[in-house]
Structure 1
Amino acid sequence: CDGEDRLGLTGEPDGEADGDSKADTPEIPTSVDNTPQCLNKALEGLSSRWRNWWIRGILSFTMISGFFLIIYLGPVMLIIVMTVQIKCFQEIITIGYRVYHSYDLPWFRTLSWYFLICVNYFFYGETVADYFGVLVQKEEPLQFLVRYHRFISFTLYLAGFCMFVLSLVKKHYRLQFYMFAWTHVTLLIVVTQSHLVIQNLFEGMIWFIVPISIVICNDIMAYLFGFFFGRTPLIKLSPKKTWEGFIGGFLSTVVFGFIFAYLLAQYQYFVCPVEYDSETNRFAVECQPSELFVMQEYRLPAALQNVLRWKTVKMYPFQIHSVALSTFASLIGPFGGFFASGFKRAFKIKDFANTIPGHGGIMDRFDCQYLMATFVHVYIASFIRGPNPSKVLQQVLVLQPEQQLSIFNTLRSHLQDKGILPPPRPEAQ
């Protein structure tokens, strides 16, 4: 049905019909230094190199303290994840909006936030259905929303899609489709990864805390090693990154991850899956720890036995997994930062925003975290996760009574055949 436009038969010049923009790279306002005045005054006698070092150090310490406060709050950190997601989305979309707004085209910001709401409705609705099944069964309106959740989500998205088509403006088609893609790629990077962070959290807070901590550790240690020992450039996208910082960050992160995993694996609060207790109407983090978090004895290779004079060593199996997580965070995780650096260079900006002095925007701090969240989710699904009795029970509870009875009889017969339950008594004559 669009054959005429595609063949240039509309009577308009081909370039105008496609909506060519005047410039390939838009002009974005430069970043503004919003470092607190008291901090600027205290560091005014230092060179710019050391001034930046102290600013980053002080703000890093503040953010780490905030992170531990979030851990203390427990599962309430779900709200924090949502807040970070919205802020990251806002920072990326704002860059696009500054370009889009200059052409005075309608609805871009409105549609961007509308699509954010739609995608969050879909993902969080899936989470509610998976982890709050018992609660859903008690509330009839929720039953309707869960039953038709995907249809409702698709309908909401379809409404936004139609609004976008109606917003198309003559001579700017290409730019508008470019910004439509901008919004959807942002949703893919930010919202999808945030959903995976929450999925990891429900597997146990340790799967949330350790990955985030090792990325933070790698970022700090790579910066310190690069600052004091860096001589050899690592990649052109980030001229300040050095091989010395990259290698030093890797070794430090593996050691930190191994020790930190040992400390957290001792506590049920961190290792138990986060589940909703319908009786108390609160999140519960109590369980019998899985084998991952039970101390085990391992026999060392002969070469290490000769060096360490030990034949065996005791540790938690999760510590072995922490080495894999640390390796990814150190060797592959930085490429999330390189990707962000390339993005910023494309638009000639230093940072995504000026939210955190010395660090840039929230997205500047979470560019590696999102890549890490995806890896952890895939890692858990591939090597860790097994059948979840709680989820199975929730699925059974939503069935009709006759279906539940059929499952009960089948399960009872199965357990009797395996000798776990006594065989049925013969009926009296």
Structure 2
Amino acid sequence: MTELRHRGATEKELQHQNSEDKGSETEGKERDGASDTETKSDSGVPEVPVPADDTPEVLNKALSGLSSRWKNWWVRGILTLAMISFFFIIIYLGPMVLMMIVLCVQIKCFHEIITIGYSVYHSYHLPWFRTLSWYFLLCVNYFFYGETVTDYFFTLVQREEPLRILSKYHRFISFALYLTGFCMFVLSLVKKHYRLQFYMFGWTHVTLLIVVTQSHLIIHNLFEGMIWFIVPISCVICNDIMAYMFGFFFGRTPLIKLSPKKTWEGFIGGFFATIVFGILLSYVMSGYSYFVCPVEFNNDSNSFTVDCEPSELFQLQDYGLPPVLQSITGWDFANTIPGHGGIMDRFDCQYLMATFVNVYIASFIRGPNPSKVIQQLLALRPDQQLHIFNSLKAHLTEKGLLPALEEAA
């Protein structure tokens, strides 16, 4: 009996202790829930929604009998051919159409990244986020495209009065537009959501830095000559395709954990295939002035033209190898989207490549811009212009160039 009473008391104590533990757990959960809610209202980040399969229904039905691996192969292949065909069409349409296509791609990439931000923070109903994001996109594009037009189409800007006024005060107008957007952002701030709103302000500006700035560099490369636009983009496309091909058929060794489907075989195969492709494409395109000449505005025809005498950079040169290499080789080198992810997935490397090409052109290719020099000269006072004219005349006379020009005239 004593044992039974003792056992019963013990069970009651255990039940009481368990109920207290459960109560404390419930209290803890409630406290944690409250703290989570408080944290969420200021710094919580919900998971980004996973996009659904966007493969067209026609392809799904046609490839329904294949395994997922081969189905993905055919989807990627068909849409890759479609995108390459579209790429050839826009190249044929000329540089101005290419510029508009770059602008459209830029807007789509910006939309994809901003939509991610909006999906993450949508539950907090932050005011004006989308409006301000697109407003800042407009401001940055106005600034960059205005700079480009002034640099490359100076004669057109000087001929049209509205363009001349906009060009003269371009940076002031751009700054005023941006300052207006910043004031709108400050006015949209809501208590308890300051941190989130500044997160999204930073999100927008980092997106502008990645997408708009680098797409602007693509436009600069394009105006220097279509070869600087087509070859880098084509090399990225070739690398993407060939890395997938080599990885699909020969891939065995994983490359990185971040992308488990990528393999060393695909990486190495894509690397060498891209080098060969880049050399051959550059060789073919350098023989056509349409691809190597910069885009200019012709006052006589009142249109944009691509016509010039190709520089020595695009002419074949003979380079001798060191004797040691000649003895080894024995010959002379001088004589020889569904299935793809979003738009940003296809153009992330393009933006990085455009930045490299722009730096390369600025460092090794581009010289002083005559149009920009003339623009700066015309903005000077008459006495300053006369001083520069006399200095230039004296310099040319000393070099012996001015008399030769006068005799020829």
Measured against the shorter chain, the TM-score band is: 0.7 to 0.9
Name the structure 2 match of 1:57. 77
Q: Offset at 1:372?
A: 0.8
- 1:327 corresponds to: none
Output aligned runs, 1:376-415, within 5 Å.
Answer: 376-399=357-380, 403-415=384-396
- Which of 266, 272, 295 does residue 274 from structure 1 map onto? 295
SS at structure 1 position matched to 2:149: helix
Matched, 1:153 2:174: yes
Bigger relative CO (Cα 8 Å, ≥ 6 apart): 1
| Counterpart residue identity of residue 92, structure 2 | Y
Residues 154 and 371, structure 2, Cα contact 8 Å, conserved in 1: no
* Alpha-carbon separation, structure 2, partners of 1:393 and 1:205: 25
Compare the two structures and name the one with the higher helix fraction.
Answer: 2
Determine whether 1:263 maps to 2:244: no
1:99 to partner: Cα distance: 2.1
CA distance in 2 between partners of 1:228 and 1:312 (Å): 32
Q: Check if 1:294 corresponds to 2:293.
A: no
Instruction: Tell whether the 8 Å contact from 2:42 to 2:196 is kept in structure 1 after alignment.
Output: no
Q: Deviations over 1:233-262 (max 9, x none)?
A: 111111111111111111111111011100
Name the amino acid aligned to 2:209.
L
For the Cα contact (< 8 Å) 2:43–2:196, is it kept in 1?
no
Distance in 1 separating the partners of 2:118 and 2:143: 25
Q: Secondary structure at the match of 2:260?
A: strand
Q: Is it true that 1:192 corresponds to 2:206 in the alignment?
A: no
Displacement of 1:282 after TM fit?
A: 1.6
The answer as to whether partners of 1:19 and 1:175 remain within 8 angstroms in 2 is no
Letter in 1 for 2:160: E
Residue 83 of structure 1: which of 84, 100, 104 is its match? 104
TM-score by length of 2: 0.85
Asked whether 1:305 is paired with 2:286, we answer no
- Residue 345 of structure 2, aligned match among 340, 364, 367: 364
The match for 1:254 among 253, 258, 275 is: 275
1:222 equivalent to 2:243? Answer yes
Cα contact 1:300–1:313 (8 A) shared by 2: no
Q: Distance in 1 between matches of 2:347 and 2:279?
A: 22
Letter in 2 for 1:165: V
The structure 1 residue matched to 2:50, chosen from 11, 27, 30, is 30
Partner of 2:129: 108
Q: TM-score, normalised by structure 1?
A: 0.81
CA contact (8 A) 1:200 1:208 kept: yes
Q: Does 1:422 align with 2:406?
A: no
Residue identity matched to 1:286: D
Higher Rg of the two aligned structures: 2
**8 A Cα contact 1:298 1:314, kept in partner:** no
Q: Distance in 2 between matches of 1:72 and 1:424?
A: 40
Please state how far the C-alpha of 1:37 moved relative to its aligned partner: 1.9
**Aligned positions of 1:331-346 closer than 5 A:** none
Structure 2 segments unaligned to the other structure (5+ residues): 1-34
List gaps (5 residues or longer) in structure 1.
Answer: 1-14, 316-355
Quick one: which amino acid aligns to residue 296 of structure 2?
A: E
CA contact (8 A) 2:42 2:195 kept: no
Q: 1:312 to 1:22 in 2, by over 3 A?
A: closer
Q: Secondary structure at the match of 2:400?
A: coil
Contact 1:20 1:171 in 2 (8 A): no
Find the aligned partners of 1:23 and 1:144 in 2 and give their Cα distance. Answer: 46
Match of 1:44 in 2: 64
C-alpha contact (below 8 Å) 2:75/2:338 kept by paired residues = yes
Letter aligned with residue 90 of structure 1: H
Q: How many residues align?
A: 370
State the match for 1:328 in structure 2. Answer: none
User: RMSD of aligned C-alpha atoms?
Assistant: 2.3
Residue in structure 2 matched with residue 207 of structure 1 by the alignment: 228
Identical columns (%): 73
Distance across 2 between alignment mates of 1:311 and 1:140: 57
Q: Contact between 1:211 and 1:376, CA under 8 Å: does it hold in 2?
A: yes
The residue number in structure 2 matching 1:168 is 189
Q: Matched residues in 1 for 2:312 and 2:115: separation?
A: 46
Q: 1:22, 1:389 → 2: CA distance?
A: 53
Report the Cα distance in structure 2 between the residues aligned to 1:289 and 1:244, rounded to whole angstroms.
39
1:366 partner letter: F
